[in-house]
Amino acid sequence: MERRTFLELLAAGVITAATGAAAGIFLPKLIEEKSEFGFGKMGAALPPIAEDVNVYPSAIPIIFEPPRVTQVPVPFGTISSIPHHPGMFALTVDDGISSHVVREYTRFAQETGMRLTFFVTGQYPSWSENIPELRPLVESGQIQMANHTWTHPSLLKVSNGQVSSELGQTHDFLLKNYGVDATPYFRPPFGNHDERIDSVAASLGYTTAVMWHGSLSDAGQITPDQLREFAGKWIGEKRIVIGHANFPAVTECFGYIKDLILERKLQPVTLNDLYLKR
Ligand SMILES: [Zn+2]
C-alpha cells in the first residue's frame, strides 16, 4: 500500500523520482514494503542499505507501460484514427525544426514511458543530433520513426520523381541511422496528397498515409496555454493526434499532457504497436 501511494504521487507529478530520491522518500518505503514480506516481522535486521540503493533504480516505475494489444493488419490507404483499439491514443510528432524540442520529447519519453511516433523531416539536424538518446528508444519500440519527407514540400506541387526522392531520402536516412524500415507509414506535408502521390508512395512501400483526428496546432508558434487547450480538446481514445517538434511551447506542457492521458485512462501507443505490417 505504501508503495502504491508513492507511485500515485509520482504518477500525479506531485513528486518525481528525482525529488523523491532527494527527499529520501523511496528508500524507507522500500524497506517498509520488504518488511511486509517478512524481513521485519522475523525480527531480523533490516537489509543493508547499500543493497537497496543498488536494487532500487531498476525498479523505478515507468508511468506508461507498453500496451497489451491485439494487433491487426495495417490498413491500406489513409488513416486518421485507430478505431480498432478502445482506450488507446497515438501521439504523432512531426517535422523536428528544433533539436531542443526533439531532445525534450525524447526526455519526456525516457522519464515516463510515453510512446510516440515521430514523422521525421530528414533535412533537420535534430534527427542526427539526437541519435544517441533516441536510438535506444527506437530499438525498444517505445518510439517509432516514420516518414515525413526530406524537405517538407507540398507533394501536390512536385513531380513523381521528386515525390520518390523526398520519401526515399528520409527512408534511407532512417534505415542508416536508426536501423528501421519506416514503411508503410508516411505523412504528406500539410496533409496534402491525392491518388497520384499515394500511388508513387505505395510504389516505395509507403502504403499508409497517416493523417490525424486532432491537432495540438503547434506547427507554428503558439503559447503553452493555447497548446494545453488543444491538448484538452483532442487527446482521447482511438485518436491520432498531431503535434510538432518545432517550437518550445510544448516542452512546458508535457506534465499536463501526461496528466491528461492518466486522467482519461488512455494507453499511449505507436502505430507499430497496433498494426502488423503486411
Ligand atoms: Zn510537417
pLDDT digits (tens, 9 = 90+) for 146-180: 999 999 999 999 999 999 999 999 999 999 999 99
Residues 113, 250 share a domain: yes
Residues 124, 13 share a domain: no
Cβ atoms of residues 207 and 201 within 8 Å = yes
CATH at 202: 3.20.20.370
User: Measured in angstroms, how far is the CA atom of residue 177 from the centroid of ligand 1?
Assistant: 21
Domain-embedded: residue 134: yes
Burial 206-217 (b: 16+ CB within 10 A, else e): bbbbbebbbbbb
Domain C-terminal end among 37, 59, 81: 59
* Alpha-carbon span 148 to 190, nearest angstrom: 10
* Alpha-carbon span 26 to 6, nearest angstrom: 8
Give Cα 232 to chain centroid, integer Å. Answer: 17
Residues 173, 86 share a domain: yes
User: Measured in angstroms, how far is the CA atom of residue 247 from the centroid of ligand 1?
Assistant: 13
Short-list 226, 107, 219, 249, CA closest to 152: 219
Residues 241, 109 share a domain: yes
Domain-embedded: residue 64: no
Residues 213, 110 share a domain: yes
Residues, CB within 5 angstroms of ligand 1 (ion): 94-95, 189
Domain-embedded: residue 54: yes
Judged against a pLDDT cut of 50, whether residue 256 lies above it is answered with: yes
User: Measured in angstroms, how far is the CA atom of residue 148 from the centroid of ligand 1?
Assistant: 7
User: Measured in angstroms, how far is the CA atom of residue 22 from the centroid of ligand 1?
Assistant: 40
Residues 130, 216 share a domain: yes
Residues 115, 24 share a domain: no
pLDDT tens column, 32-70: 333 333 333 333 444 444 444 444 444 455 899 999 999
Domain membership of residue 35 as a residue range: 2-59
Q: What is the domain count for the chain? A: 2
Bridge pairing between strands 88-95 and 116-120: parallel
User: Measured in angstroms, how far is the CA atom of residue 251 from the centroid of ligand 1?
Assistant: 18
Domain-embedded: residue 65: no
The per-residue pLDDT for 278 is 85
Segment among 2-16, 97-111, 239-253 with least mean pLDDT: 2-16
Residues 76, 47 share a domain: no
User: Measured in angstroms, how far is the CA atom of residue 49 from the centroid of ligand 1?
Assistant: 51
Residues 108, 189 share a domain: yes
Domain C-terminal end among 34, 59, 84: 59
The per-residue pLDDT for 62 is 82
Burial 150-187 (b: 16+ CB within 10 A, else e): bebbebeebeeebbbebbebbbebbeebbebebbbbbb
The grid coordinates listed for 258 are 501526461
